[in-house]
Amino acid sequence: MPELPEVETVRRGLELAMVGARIEKVELRRKDIRFPFPPRFRERLTGRRIAALARRAKFLLFRLDDGETLIAHLGMSGSFRVEAAETSSPGAFHHKRSKDPKHDHVVLHLDNGKTVTYNDPRRFGFMDLAASEALETHPRLIELGEEPLAVEFDARRLAELFAGSRAPLKSALLDQKRIAGLGNIYVCEALFRARLSPLRPAAALASPAGKPTRAAHALAKAIRAVLEEAIEAGGSTLRDHRRADGGLGYFQHGFSVYDREGLPCLRPRCRGTIHRLAQSGRSTFYCPECQK
DNA sequence: CCGCGGGCCTGAGAGC
DNA sequence: TGCTCTCAGGCCCGCG
């Protein structure tokens, strides 16, 4: 499920459960997910205390107390689940059991009694360990572009990032080397909100003189708004413990265009219909009436 | 160098 | 009920 807002929501949930706790035991149910786990993975995690939980783009960064950082990416289908300690009172028969034990690949047992389980059916996610000092040079992180929620991110920066690109807006926005954290859903949603066609050339966000256009301003603003609202929505899901079975990283938003092919455009007074097209192998959803 | 398409995996849902 | 097909919120790699 995870794009930047989902990963941020997961980060906040894991932060609550994990920071300050020590990893007492690590269960590794396979030797790889997308890539092999790094050498001595269990040994390097066992006994470590989690000092902080950060995020870079769609990557989760678990900073450990020994100078290493656990890097985790959820891929398409990865999720973390936090479970409280079993109350081992006799007759406590409500033993919590995973709905999908087959894809529980990593289980961390913490000294605060909680259990953190990584589940990933498609195994496009991955985990690695790296020196905290050298994180920025990790092969998977070194090429990442701008954080769209950073204060420096604005229309000017956006126009600069897209200058010289020959790609359409949709593809340029998905390129993690330029802006890091957007995925297929929020790119579609941001373009809709900015009323820009996904087919428009990305380079046209700057005037010939190199100044950001009105479109650049609209898009930069839309990206920020869409991400912040999604994080807010995730945050509220996270607080709702009745329906959170501990599962993090999976919640439903109301999308304006994503997966709404054939349905009416939600913009007031627009008579358009949401269309779908394929761009660099992914589905793009947009309203041809109001996105120009 | 850049952009695109194929590939990696498994499961869900549609259509027959 | 079951089979087959398409599609899926990720990224890497090789090709032109």
Considering A154-158, A238-242, A243-247, the range whose residues carry the highest mean pLDDT is A154-158
Same domain, A282 and A221: yes
Q: A151 is written with which tokens?
A: 């204060």
Same domain, A130 and A181: no
Same domain, A110 and A182: no
Q: Which domain holds residue A189?
A: 155-286
What is the model's pLDDT at position A252? 54
Same domain, A131 and A163: no
Q: Is the pLDDT of residue A86 over 70?
A: no
- Angle A163-A166-A172 (CA atoms, 0-180°, nearest 5)? 75
What is the model's pLDDT at position A96? 61
Same domain, A116 and A165: no
Task: Provide the mean pLDDT of chain A.
Answer: 91
Q: State the amino acid at position A49 in one-letter form.
A: R
Q: Is the CB of A250 under 7 A from strand B?
A: no
- Single pTM value for the model: 0.94
- Tell me the CA–C1' distance in angstroms for A123 and C11: 12
How many CA atoms lie less than 13 Å away from A224 in the CB half-sphere? 15
What is the model's pLDDT at position A235? 67
For residue A233, name the pLDDT band (cuts at 50, 70, 90): confident
For residue A212, name the pLDDT band (cuts at 50, 70, 90): very high
Q: Is the CB of A31 under 7 A from strand B?
A: no
Chain A, 58-97: which CBs lie within 7 Å of strand B?
A: 77
Q: Is the pLDDT of residue A92 over 50?
A: no
- Tell me the CA–C1' distance in angstroms for A124 and B10: 10
Q: Is the CB of A236 under 7 A from strand B?
A: no
For A42-51, the CB contacts below 8 A with 24+ separation are A44/A68, A44/A129, A45/A70, A45/A108, A45/A129, A47/A22, A47/A23, A48/A22, A48/A23, A49/A20, A49/A21, A49/A22, A49/A23, A50/A18, A50/A19, A50/A20, A50/A21, A50/A22, A50/A23, A51/A19
Query: Per residue in A160-186, pLDDT tens?
Result: 999 999 999 999 999 999 999 999 999
Tell me, what CATH number does A273's domain have?
A: 1.10.8.50
Q: Is the pLDDT of residue A248 over 80?
A: no
For residue A238, name the pLDDT band (cuts at 50, 70, 90): low
Residues whose CB is less than 8 angstroms from the CB of residue A191 and which lie 6 or more positions away in sequence, other chains included: A169, A170, A173, A197, A198, A219, A222, A286, A291
What is the model's pLDDT at position A44? 98
What mean pLDDT do residues A12-16 have?
A: 94
> Helix or strand or coil: residue A91?
coil
Please identify every residue of A annotated as catalytic: 2-3, 58, 282
Query: Per residue in A47-70, pLDDT tens?
Result: 999 999 999 999 999 999 999 999
Q: How many helices (H) and strands (E) does chain A have?
A: 6, 11
Same domain, A100 and A192: no
Cα torsion for A95, A99, A102, A107, to the nearest 10°? -50
Chain A, 153-192: which CBs lie within 7 Å of strand B?
A: 164-168, 171-172, 175
Protein-contacted positions of strand B (CB under 7 Å): 2-11
> Angle at which helices A184-194 and A214-239 pack, to 10 degrees?
130
Q: Residues of chain A with pLDDT > 70: what percent?
A: 89
What mean pLDDT do residues A247-275 have?
A: 83
Q: Is the pLDDT of residue A91 over 60?
A: no
Domains: count for chain A: 2
- Tell me the CA–C1' distance in angstroms for A262 and B14: 16
For residue A243, name the pLDDT band (cuts at 50, 70, 90): very low
Q: Which helix (H) or strand (E) holds A231?
A: helix A214-239
Tell me, what CATH number does A19's domain have?
A: 3.20.190.10
C-alpha A187: how far from chain center: 13
What is the model's pLDDT at position A184? 95
Q: Is the CB of A125 under 7 A from strand B?
A: no
What is the model's pLDDT at position A99? 79
